[in-house]
């Protein structure tokens, strides 16, 4: 498995390779992170990951709960401490 050079962190979750390309924590809402990720080499647009409510808000402003082995679980486990 080859990980992108610009990735901050990469992990193998289930059958997928998830890489965090950029991440920024909200100053006002410290439990929220804006992150751009890639899943299996496919770059995704910046989404908001809410670690308190375990939801993500995608670029269409749709609220989606975290799934098992999801990028949201990875982001919250690595950065929300």
Residues in the chain: 81
Confidence of residue 38 (pLDDT cuts 50, 70, 90): very high
Domain boundaries, the chain: 9-79
pLDDT for residue 24:
93
Lowest mean pLDDT among 5-9, 11-15, 29-33, 74-78: 5-9
Run of H or E residues at 71: helix 71-79
Question: To the nearest whole percent, how much of the chain has pLDDT over 70?
Answer: 86
Confidence of residue 36 (pLDDT cuts 50, 70, 90): very high
List the beta strands (DSSP E) in 1-81: 9-13, 16-25, 32-39, 42-43, 47-50, 55-57, 63-65
Residue 1 has pLDDT above 60, yes or no: no
């Amino acid at each position: 498995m080859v990980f992108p050079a610009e990735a901050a962190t990469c992990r193998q979750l289930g059958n997928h390779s998830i890489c965090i390309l950029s991440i920024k924590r909200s100053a006002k809402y410290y439990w929220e992170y804006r992150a751009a990720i890639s899943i299996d080499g496919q770059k995704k647009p910046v989404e908001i990951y809410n670690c308190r409510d375990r939801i993500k808000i995608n670029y269409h402003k749709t609220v989606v709960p975290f799934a098992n082995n999801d990028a949201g679980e990875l982001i919250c486990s690595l950065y929300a401490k």
